[in-house]
């Protein structure tokens, strides 16, 4: 597994989606409750792994650290916290061919890095890449009043408003959620 520095859009997307699997962000439930859910989440992001229970616990802990990164609005604070995540998993930096065969800067994890360390490296690089290319104003709270998610807006126009556009940005979903909450109370 290696991470291309220029791939920050993809890596920042991984960081955003990992943070927003936390309990309380969407409908209250943890979206990574067990190793099967974590395996599926990783596969969606092109990461082939068979996590053990201790990996799941370590990823939950990383998710909380990463939330502190995405909650920051100051460039120096974001950089400081994201650099710590990168350092946690970083092995070597070098050049490698990308999918188009062009030589690109990439980072490789330490050989002994566990799954959470590797995810820390990937998401930390995504955060730093987005910060450098787009600035701290792209780190935002979800605009939905039923969601406490956060996100990094890597879109070209920079007008993204929701952490999970298909869910929080969908009025029908929000209405259904409110109706369910009324019915339960
Ligand atoms: Zn949201």
CB 73 within 8 A of CB 80: no
Ligand 1 midpoint to CA 61 (Å): 21
Ligand 1 midpoint to CA 157 (Å): 19
Average model confidence (pLDDT) across the chain: 92
User: What pLDDT shows up at residue 97?
Assistant: 94
Give 175's pLDDT tier (boundaries 50, 70, 90). low
| Total-model pTM | 0.90
Ligand 1 midpoint to CA 146 (Å): 8
Cβ neighbours of residue 34 under 8 Å, at least 6 residues apart?
A: 56
User: What pLDDT shows up at residue 171?
Assistant: 65
Give 174's pLDDT tier (boundaries 50, 70, 90). low
Ligand 1 midpoint to CA 93 (Å): 34
Ligand 1 midpoint to CA 20 (Å): 8
Nearest one of 86, 61, 78 to 139, comparing CA atoms:
78
Length of the chain: 185
Ligand 1 midpoint to CA 106 (Å): 31
Ligand 1 midpoint to CA 170 (Å): 10
Ligand 1 midpoint to CA 12 (Å): 16
Ligand 1 midpoint to CA 123 (Å): 19
Provide the total of helices (H) and of strands (E) in the chain, helices listed first: 6, 5
Q: Is 184 a residue whose pLDDT tops 90?
A: no
Partner residues linked to 92 by β-bridges? 108
pLDDT, tens digit, 9 for 90 and up, residues 91-121: 999 999 988 999 999 999 999 999 999 999 9
Q: Is 89 a residue whose pLDDT tops 70?
A: yes
Write out the two tokens for 128: 């730093």
Higher-pLDDT residue of 76 and 2 is 76
Ligand 1 midpoint to CA 172 (Å): 14
Ligand 1 midpoint to CA 143 (Å): 7
pLDDT, tens digit, 9 for 90 and up, residues 7-60: 999 999 999 999 999 998 877 789 999 999 999 999 999 999 999 999 999 999
In sign, the C-alpha dihedral spanning 156, 167, 74, 58 is: negative
Structural domain boundaries in the chain:
3-137
CB 151 within 8 A of CB 16: yes
User: What pLDDT shows up at residue 29?
Assistant: 87
Write out the two tokens for 32: 């990574």
Write out the two tokens for 127: 């955060």
| The domain defined by 3-137 carries CATH number 3.40.190.10 | no
The H or E element spanning position 93 is strand 90-97
């Amino acid at each position: 597994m290696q991470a291309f520095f220029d791939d920050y859009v993809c890596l920042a997307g991984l960081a955003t989606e990992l943070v927003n699997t936390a309990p309380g962000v969407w409908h209250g439930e943890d979206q990574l409750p067990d190793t099967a859910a974590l395996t599926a989440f990783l596969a969606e992001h092109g990461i082939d792994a068979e996590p053990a229970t201790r990996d799941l616990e370590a990823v939950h802990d990383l998710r909380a650290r990463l939330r502190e990164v995405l909650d920051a609005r100051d460039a120096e604070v974001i950089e400081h916290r994201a650099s710590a995540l990168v350092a946690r998993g970083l092995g070597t930096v070098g050049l490698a061919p990308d999918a188009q065969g062009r030589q690109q800067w990439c980072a490789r994890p330490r050989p002994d890095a566990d799954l959470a360390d590797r995810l820390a490296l990937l998401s930390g690089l995504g955060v730093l890449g987005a910060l450098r290319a787009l600035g701290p104003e792209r780190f935002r709270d979800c605009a939905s009043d039923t969601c406490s998610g956060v996100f990094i807006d890597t879109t070209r126009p920079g007008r993204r408003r929701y952490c999970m556009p298909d869910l929080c940005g969908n009025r029908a979903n929000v209405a259904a959620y409110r109706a369910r909450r009324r019915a339960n109370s």
